[in-house]
Amino acid sequence: MFIICNALAIFTFLVYARVILSWFPASPNGIFGQISRIVYQVTDPVLLPVRRALPLVGPLDLSPIVVVIGLSILQNVIC
């Protein structure tokens, strides 16, 4: 159970990191761009299906909010 709880906490952190990284443009060749690419690759499998299921709200992407709320509920149930 400890491993699952930590994995959920780390994934929640990565979703927050993705949101923050999306605010700053990164050079793809720099270290910041490489970190950004890794974070996007890890979070995309969860965020993309949620993004497709949500209606468009202008330029806002609400999928990270929905995923973080879902992860929080899951953590409260499991941990």
- List, for residues 35-77, the tens digit of each pLDDT value: 999 999 999 999 999 999 998 888 888 999 999 999 999 999 9
pLDDT of residue 27: 83
Residue 32 has pLDDT above 90, yes or no: no
Which tokens hold the place of 24? 């700053």
Burial classification of residue 43, based on how many CB atoms lie within 10 Å of its CB (0-12 exposed, 13-18 middle, 19 or more buried): buried
Instruction: Please tell me the total count of domains within the chain.
Output: 1
List the alpha helices (DSSP H) in 23-61.
31-53
Give the domain extent around 30: 2-78
**Cβ atoms 65, 40 nearer than 8 A:** no
The whole-model pTM stands at: 0.88
More confident residue, 28 or 65: 65
